[in-house]
Structure 1
Amino acid sequence: MTQPEIDLTQPDAVRRELLDDDRAVKDEFARHLDGELNELAEVLAACFRLLPAINEAANRLQTQRSALVAGFAFGVLDDLVISTKLMLSGKAPAAGNVMRQAVEGIAMSMLCSTDELLVVEMKKKQTPVRARYWEKVWSGDSRTQGHLAVTQLDWNAATLKLNGDGVARLRHARNHYNTFSHCGTLTIASRVALDVPGMVYVGGHFDPAKLDAYRVEMNERIGLCRVLPPFMDRLLATMPRPAGRPLAAAQPAEPA
C-alpha cells in the first residue's frame, strides 16, 4: 500500500488529516489479517455474552463494591474494542496504551471482588499494609492507581484463589504493553517505514514490513480474551450475595 505524501505545513492538509477516517488503512489490515480478525471477533463476543449477568447482579445488589466490579469489567471489554480499532487504523502506540488499561482493569476488577483485606502496599523491611481494596478505590487512595494493580493481584493471588497461569498471563501482557505506553525506541519504530529509508508516517498507516508484528498484536488480544471468561465467571460468583455498603453511604472500614 502506497500512502500519499501530505504537506503538513499547510493548514488545509492538517485539517484533512485530522478528519481522515483511515478507511484505506483499515481495508489493508482487514485484507491481510482476516483470519485473526475472525478469531478475535469470536472470543471477544464470548466475553460480551458474560457481561449482562455481571451487570444484572450489580444492579440487584446496589453496592459500591458490585458497582466497581461491573464498571471495571465493562471497561476491560470496551478498552479491548477501542484498542483493536486503533490498531486496525495503524496507530500502534495508542492501541498498546489502551491495551495496558484493559490489563489493569482485569486486575482491578478482581481486587474489588472481595471484602477480604488485601495487601495494598508492600515495602522492604515493613509489614505489608492490608485494606479492603474496593474501599480504597472508592475513596481515591493513590495506592489503588491502575499501574499498581497487576502487582497487587500477584501479591493477593492466594487470598483470591486465582489460577497462577492466569495471573502470569496478565503480567506478561502488562510488561508487553508498558513499552507502548511511554516514549522509546518502539514508538519511534512504529512511525518509520521499515523498508523505505527516510520515510515516516503521521497518523494511521499500514506497513507490509510490519505484518508479523501486527499478527503478534492480534494474537495478544486473542490470548487475553481467551483467559477473560474464567476471570469474569469468578467476578460473577462473588456477587450473588449482598456485600459491601449501599451506594449512598459507605465509609472505609480500615484506617490503612
Structure 2
Amino acid sequence: MGYSGQGRHSNCMQSHCSNLRGNPPGKIDGNGILRHMPPPMIDLTNPSHVIAEIFDDDKWIKDEFAKHLSAELLKFSETLADSFKRFPKLDKMSADGDEQAAFVAGFIFGVFDDLVVSSKLLVSGKMVASGNLMRQAIEGIAVAILCSSRRPVFVSKGKGKGKATMKVDYWRKVKAQDPIAYAHQSICQLALNCDLLGVSRTAVDRLRAARRKYHLFSHPSLLGMASRMSMGEPGPIYIGGNFDEAKLPAYRTEISERVGLCGVLPTLIDGLIFRLEANDQ
C-alpha cells in the first residue's frame, strides 16, 4: 500500500484530498463537457495545505452525492421530518418541570441530532465518522427507553459468574453518571427489561445488530482503512473525505439504515410518552 505520488522532497508524503478550493473534480473541455479529474493532492507536511483542508467545505463531494443519491437523501429528509412531529409533546412534558421527562427528551433529541450530523458527514465523504454517530444514535434510543420507566428497571453489574442483577431508577443513575448506566451497556440492560417496559425482543435484537455493525466504525479497523481507499481507481488514498462512485451501493445502504431508524422513531416516542404519562411509581 502506498500513497499516490511524492512531493518535491523524498520524505514528503502526499495523498488525495477533498478539493482545497471547493471546485468540482473536473474541467470543461473544448466542447463544453465536464471531464472527470482526480481530486488534487495535499502535502501533509505543508501546514497551509492542512489548514486549507480543515476549512474546506467539501462542495465537490456533496455535489456528487446530490447527483447520484438525491432521491434517497430526500426520502431520509422526509422520514426524519415526519418523525420529528411527535417530539413536541414529549418536549412539553419536560418543559412542565418533569425532570425525568427532560432526560428522556434530551436523549431523543440527541438521536435526531446524531442522525442529521451523521448524514452531513456521510455526504461530506466521511463515512467512518458518520457511522460512529449512528452507533451513538442507536445507543441513545436504548438509554431513552430505560430512562422513561417510572419504575425501577433491572440492570446487571459485573462480569461472568460474578454478574449480579439489581433494580435501579435508571434515569437517576444516568444523572449521577453511575457506571452502571453508561450508554455502551444500554442495549444489554434494555434486553433485561423487555417484559417490564413492553419492548419486543425482536426490536432489541435489531438494535443489538445495528450497534454491532457500527461498532466497527467506532474503532480502528479494516473497514476504516478501506473507506480511505479508492475502489474505482487503484492507488489513491484519501484524506479529509471522498466520493467514490464504486462505493455507491455502500452509500445507498448507509442512507437506507438512516431511513429505517427514522421510521421507528414515531412509535418509539409514543411509547416513551405512554410510560411517562403512566406515572406508575
Does the pair score TM above 0.5? yes
Separation in structure 1 between the aligned mates of residue 280 and residue 60 of structure 2, nearest angstrom:
50
- How many pairs are equivalent? 243
Contact 2:118 2:133 in 1 (8 A): yes
Q: Does 1:7 align with 2:28?
A: no
Q: CA deviation at 1:30?
A: 1.1
Which structure 2 residue ranges, 5 or more long, are not aligned?
A: 1-24, 26-37
Give the 5 Å matches for 1:19-98: 19-60=55-96, 62-98=97-133
Q: Does 1:132 align with 2:169?
A: yes
Identity percentage over the alignment? Answer: 44
Contact 2:93 2:102 in 1 (8 A): no
Separation in structure 1 between the aligned mates of residue 233 and residue 115 of structure 2, nearest angstrom:
31
Give the 5 Å matches for 1:1-256: 2-60=38-96, 62-122=97-157, 123-125=159-161, 126-240=163-277
What's 2:20 paired with?
none
Separation in structure 1 between the aligned mates of residue 110 and residue 194 of structure 2, nearest angstrom:
22
State TM-score, norm by structure 1: 0.90
Amino acid aligned to 1:176: K
Once structures 1 and 2 are overlaid, which stretch shifts more, 124-133 or 221-230? Answer: 124-133
Contact 1:25 1:88 in 2 (8 A): yes
Amino acid aligned to 1:156: N
Higher radius of gyration, 1 or 2: 2
Relative contact order, higher structure (CA 8 A, sep 6+):
1
Amino acid aligned to 2:124: S
| Alignment deviations for residues 28-74 of structure 1 (CA, whole Å, 9 cap, x no partner) | 011111111111011100121111111001111x2331111011010
Separation in structure 2 between the aligned mates of residue 154 and residue 240 of structure 1, nearest angstrom:
23
Amino acid aligned to 1:116: R
Amino acid aligned to 1:231: L
* Aligned-pair Cα RMSD in Å: 1.6
Q: CA deviation at 1:243?
A: 7.4
Contact 2:140 2:183 in 1 (8 A): yes
Instruction: Find the residue that maps to 2:94 and give its secondary structure.
Output: helix
| Alignment deviations for residues 130-184 of structure 1 (CA, whole Å, 9 cap, x no partner) | 2111111111100111111111111111110112332222112111100100001
| Alignment deviations for residues 172-201 of structure 1 (CA, whole Å, 9 cap, x no partner) | 211110010000100000101113222100
